[in-house]
Structure 1
């Protein structure tokens, strides 16, 4: 190569555009030994290119290839010191996919205190903002103050997290807008905070509608008492909040089920939503009777040492009391801790706050202990003393179209234990008769009862005709006219449940 020839071409010998300034490239025009000059320029360009590329990435921001949980442990170590739970792994895996799957609606019900907000309302939107993956982010909570508190957590990390400031200099730090309810980062990303019920119609940030909406506990305890409050928040969510985005807007709803008709519970049944429910106790211990004894000790008002005595009782029987149990996040809340919470707060609060099962056991007809694993059976026992078949056709004047008809098979053994199997299905009258005769021939009951309320008594003649056609001798439906209130009839099962004399067919 002739070192005296002017190097006006902006590309190097390898065909790439030179990143070396023009004044430096003029060094090639100096009359130096050609070999030495080429060596000098090659190494200078390589070093400058590496430095220039790193500087550029630091100036404009970069998108880490780390998974969200790895990124969170790296930059938010204080918040992610414990190993993640199965909920965290599932949620983080879903969040990792959102940028490439626009229009996703994700609904996650997690126990109170399980750090779902730390992952979904802190780590995820923080990373999305720093890397400009989402240009316009909304944080929405039950009240404006709660939403602003979440935004304050984000602001604190942007200002005080030195590692973020070093690795994301174009985005971290205080931005051009830094208010209680809205911020704009140096890279142009906007984050705003809103409370349930706020007016949102027509809100934009420049040309952007919200690209990511993170909802964190949109309902509060008052919604458990008021159906009107639940309906109002539901209407605002579907009619105002979701309509504020576009078909490409990603929505993440994080909640704890406060009521069986709460918004998050409704979303588990709503088309278009990906939902998952997590419980603090994933699987209960196999022997709850020992825990009942333990709770008696732990709750004894006349024992000053009740906590220590209960702990000793547990440690002496730990293997048996832990057997079969599985908890969501043992590093944070082990089984003993959760059972203490259950005893202290009461089952109603525990089921709602930790199990996402918003029921009130005190308002239930029968206690949970009646329905343990012993209530199920797999195969019908031999030697039953009495067998009956009963039918509720659900074809009366007040029945709704599509109601289920129910056949119930019942057998009583020599100990007086009742074994029950139910067959529920939507069936036209002809199918009810055909299925009833087939079950009769298979089960061979001692009696066959058919509810005769309203015009259902007409089924009696159809069954008799079909029995005769198939040559089933001695079979005759017994028509039953029920006039007793259904709740009263259900309560009659109480003594059988209490004494453990009722079994249901599994599967």
Structure 2
């Protein structure tokens, strides 16, 4: 609960914001009635233009006087919301992506001006009740003082206040604020139940450290809060950046029927997702100051738990040499057990050696069945053949039993050949000792990750496990275990001969494989 001094400070800040809103939204008095109606029609269908016109105090940089237009992901999200009255979504956007501004202010106000009524009751949920009220204050300030909005659609504010956690407009659209875990039962305005619920940055660093608290809060979201909708009808979103794998946002986005939009500050091609706001050099400086772990967590939706053996700064990305430069390339497979659940990770790691430098080239690190991993291995084999790359295949001998090899044989029979897998028959020391023993290779800069795989989810999952690796860890360690196997093969002097695969047509295939 906020103190009296904090309340007074928040009230003063809100008044100053209202003055800014009013001053920035002067109306063009020379505009004709026909021009005004044509403009309104256009803004109802063009979200970016709607934001530019009504919210210059949000979009214009006061230092440069230049506006920062919406990014494409803002526009896509708004259009998705407009077209689907019953959308259930998770907007996993990086820090600084204007999540709150769009979802708490711009989008609901855009829905309010549509020809057909699109919103009746909005509920805004924050980390705490005070936080939710402050967020609600932003939209009340716009509805009460935005002169352009008022000139086009009439006086908006009617009664209530963000300080009380609720207010209503003259058109009888009601707004409520609630904190996480606070009872939302009975929320309605007259005959209308909530039909626009936005959960804003519910997770924080303290919460995600407790799996029990995360689980309890997630249950509250999908039961008490979701239950405020009229039989599930209505728009229901969660917005935030992924600060932990064990978080309410992560659990919400795992629901199959939830539409998930994930936006990192870099897209898959390495471009800035909101290029109108940030220059590439600016983001690079941000990354350098924040550090790898914090940057991945806050701006790439990739929270990493750093362990006691490997450090973030040891992860080095570099350009891969030409394939012909590699003296050896090894694929090491850690398939887990066939009878294990899909929650167990399967790992297959492709490593190569040039001189004394080890390159991590490709990765498969997934919670899946053995069959899925086997298909990936065969696909990689065919890709390597097409590239003219010779790969030596290894798997721990303990796994080379009929129950595991059945999957490889089955896929091989379909494709017309068997993978040339050799068993790693060494008597392995303790896993922690083996993996810890190769960590100096990372520290001394002998390990390079292929930079073309920087955004690959399997490669990133493997890095997660590597950084989290420590003695007695309860998490997954399949990836660093496979790394150790590949590196052991590459570092030793003797070579084991493997059998030559046969090639041919895959049954029912329409074309020759090679």
TM bin (shorter chain): 0.5 to 0.7
| Inter-CA distance 276–459: structure 2 relative to 1 (3 Å threshold) | closer
Distance in 1 (CA, whole Å) between partners of 2:148 and 2:194 is 28
1:245 Cα deviation from its structure 2 partner:
0.9
Residue 173 (1) aligns with residue 157 (2)? yes
| Inter-CA distance 190–227: structure 2 relative to 1 (3 Å threshold) | same
| Inter-CA distance 363–114: structure 2 relative to 1 (3 Å threshold) | farther
Map of 1:112-151 to 2, 5 A cutoff? 112-129=95-112, 132-151=117-136
Map of 1:4-403 to 2, 5 A cutoff? 65-81=44-60, 88-129=71-112, 132-169=117-154, 171-175=155-159, 180-246=164-230, 247-282=232-267, 326-360=271-305, 365-367=310-312, 370-374=315-319, 376=320, 380-381=323-324, 384=327, 392=334, 394-395=336-337, 399-400=340-341
Map of 1:403-414 to 2, 5 A cutoff? none
| Inter-CA distance 159–364: structure 2 relative to 1 (3 Å threshold) | farther
Rg: which structure is higher? 1
1:134 Cα deviation from its structure 2 partner:
0.4
Name the residue aligned to 1:319: none
Distance in 2 (CA, whole Å) between partners of 1:381 and 1:275 is 41
1:121 Cα deviation from its structure 2 partner:
0.9
| Inter-CA distance 400–260: structure 2 relative to 1 (3 Å threshold) | closer
1:80 Cα deviation from its structure 2 partner:
1.9
* Secondary structure, aligned partner of 1:138: strand
Name the residue aligned to 2:498: none
Distance in 2 (CA, whole Å) between partners of 1:447 and 1:350 is 36
Name the residue aligned to 1:500: 446
1:420 Cα deviation from its structure 2 partner:
6.7
RCO comparison, higher one (Cα < 8 Å, 6+): 2
Distance in 2 (CA, whole Å) between partners of 1:445 and 1:334 is 41
Distance in 1 (CA, whole Å) between partners of 2:137 and 2:196 is 18
1:92 Cα deviation from its structure 2 partner:
2.8
Asked if the contact 2:335–2:399 (Cα under 8 Å) also holds between the matched residues in 1, the reply is no
Distance in 1 (CA, whole Å) between partners of 2:272 and 2:43 is 32
| Inter-CA distance 356–95: structure 2 relative to 1 (3 Å threshold) | same
Distance in 1 (CA, whole Å) between partners of 2:142 and 2:393 is 71
| Inter-CA distance 210–380: structure 2 relative to 1 (3 Å threshold) | same
* Secondary structure, aligned partner of 1:221: coil
CA-based RMSD: 4.8
* Secondary structure, aligned partner of 1:174: strand
Name the residue aligned to 2:12: none
1:448 Cα deviation from its structure 2 partner:
7.6
Distance in 2 (CA, whole Å) between partners of 1:63 and 1:267 is 35
* Secondary structure, aligned partner of 1:326: coil
Distance in 2 (CA, whole Å) between partners of 1:496 and 1:85 is 45
- Runs (5+) with no aligned partner, structure 1: 1-53, 284-323, 464-471
Asked if the contact 1:112–1:353 (Cα under 8 Å) also holds between the matched residues in 2, the reply is yes
Distance in 1 (CA, whole Å) between partners of 2:69 and 2:433 is 43
Name the residue aligned to 1:23: none
Distance in 2 (CA, whole Å) between partners of 1:405 and 1:496 is 24
| Inter-CA distance 261–389: structure 2 relative to 1 (3 Å threshold) | closer
Asked if the contact 2:71–2:276 (Cα under 8 Å) also holds between the matched residues in 1, the reply is no
- Runs (5+) with no aligned partner, structure 2: 1-32, 409-416, 454-514
1:493 Cα deviation from its structure 2 partner:
3.6
- Per-residue CA deviation, residues 222-252 of structure 1 (Å, 9 max, x unaligned), is 2233222222221111122122213331123
Asked if the contact 2:59–2:69 (Cα under 8 Å) also holds between the matched residues in 1, the reply is no
Distance in 1 (CA, whole Å) between partners of 2:350 and 2:99 is 45
Asked if the contact 1:139–1:216 (Cα under 8 Å) also holds between the matched residues in 2, the reply is yes
Residue 491 (1) aligns with residue 436 (2)? yes
